[in-house]
Amino acid sequence: LQQLGILRESGHEHLSGSLVVPILDAAGQVAQMYGRKILDRLRKGTPKHLYLPGPHRAVWNLAGLAHAQEIVLCESLIDAMTLWCAGYRNVTTSYGTNGFTDAHRDAFRAHGVKRVLIAYDRDAAGDVAAKAHAKLLMADGIEVFRILFPKGMDANAYARQVTPAPQ
């Protein structure tokens, strides 16, 4: 656990109090871990979304990229999993507004992705990141569109509000 970065040298668990999801690389090995805090009663400054220390590694749901020319790019893994549960298999995540990596761009190019629908949170950070990532993707010749949730909402919050959720 220390080798992966889950157990800190202090003995504390990095992802304590979180729903934990492993992120596998192309070889099926754990390359990253995502943690989503379960409770809202957190100390001030505690992030709800956590990843292992160090650079982001691997692309979540590589299989979903393999056979799709159109990809939905979410801001968080919980949002991507929400869309997955609603039946959208062509979905991945950028690990937050600052988590879009060269590995994402490489995977999109390698799998022949033609269009990306950016489904980031509808807040200031999501809007800024969506614009920056759209510019990078368009430079790669990929068509980009922005999915706009109601202000202040993300894919997970919106899906919990809409019935049935796949809509």
Query: What DSSP string describes 25-69?
Result: -TTS-EEEEEEEES-S---TT--SEEE-SSS--S-TTHHHHHT-S
Least confident of 53-67, 74-88, 112-126: 53-67
Alpha helical stretches, state H, the chain: 62-66, 77-85, 102-110, 124-139, 155-161
Average pLDDT over residues 16-45: 87
Tens digits of residue pLDDT in 122-153: 999 999 999 999 999 999 999 999 999 999 99
* pLDDT for res 30: 87
Q: Which residue has the higher pLDDT, 5 or 139?
A: 139
pTM (2 decimals)?
0.90
pLDDT of residue 61: 93
Report phi then psi at 62, rounded to 5: -55, -35
